[in-house]
Amino acid sequence: MFSLQDLLGQEQGTQAVEQISQNVGADSSLVNSAIQMALPALINGLANNAATPQGAESLNTALEQDHAGGGVLDNLGGLAGMIFGGGQEAAPPPRQADAGGILGHILGTNQGAVAQEVSNKSGLGLGQVAQILMFLAPIVMSYLGKQKQEQNVGADGLGGLLGGLLGGNQQAAPQSSGNAMIDMASNMLDSDRDGSAMDDIASMAFKYMTNK
């Protein structure tokens, strides 16, 4: 499995899961399962973006400008406030926590397909999964920004960095579980889309917050 504990370390990863669970209003074990499904999809999406020179340069610029040194990782407790602020009509979040914008760049029109798949397999509602994705997007970008800085990686090395994340966790996990998770992430990104409003994860997340 590919968890936030794998990505951030046991203590910080557990803190992040608990923070997300409290905001989503769901049991941490269910939220953790959803995260383990969603993380490979996000990293696969980033790897797809970095597969072309133009995409790699764009991702490199975003990491340098908005996520250098780890960004939001030092303030996980305040992440909900940064992302959601006072609601959908409030001032836009800071760029390092602009989860809706980040998800749009990573997943594009795949957002709805990813949310639906994670919802189906985790048992959480679409609104809850939308919120989880909103939390994960800046966390993943901040992690990459930190790794890029520490390893002195340029645009041409981002594909290798992302491939190492997926490959390393695939080998570390039991073979069938690791393969299934990576395959599911690829399937989510390859699903047919109809361009429906479900692709707007931010709207889904805010609607869930308003109605819960």
Looking at the 3D structure of the chain, how many domains does it have?
Answer: 1
What pTM was estimated for this model as a whole?
Answer: 0.82
Summarised one tens digit per residue, pLDDT across range 106-136 is 988 888 889 999 999 999 999 999 999 999 9
Summarised one tens digit per residue, pLDDT across range 27-75 is 999 999 999 999 999 999 999 999 999 999 999 999 998 888 777 888 8
Give the residue numbers spanning the domain of 159.
4-211
Instruction: Report the amino acid identity of residue 95.
Output: R
What percent of the chain has a predicted confidence (pLDDT) above 70?
A: 78
pLDDT of the residue at 91: 59
Supply the DSSP string of 83-133, one letter for each residue: HHTT-TTSPPPPGGG-HHHHHHHHHGGGHHHHHHHHHHHH---HHHHHHHH
pLDDT of the residue at 85: 76
Does pLDDT of 198 surpass 80? no
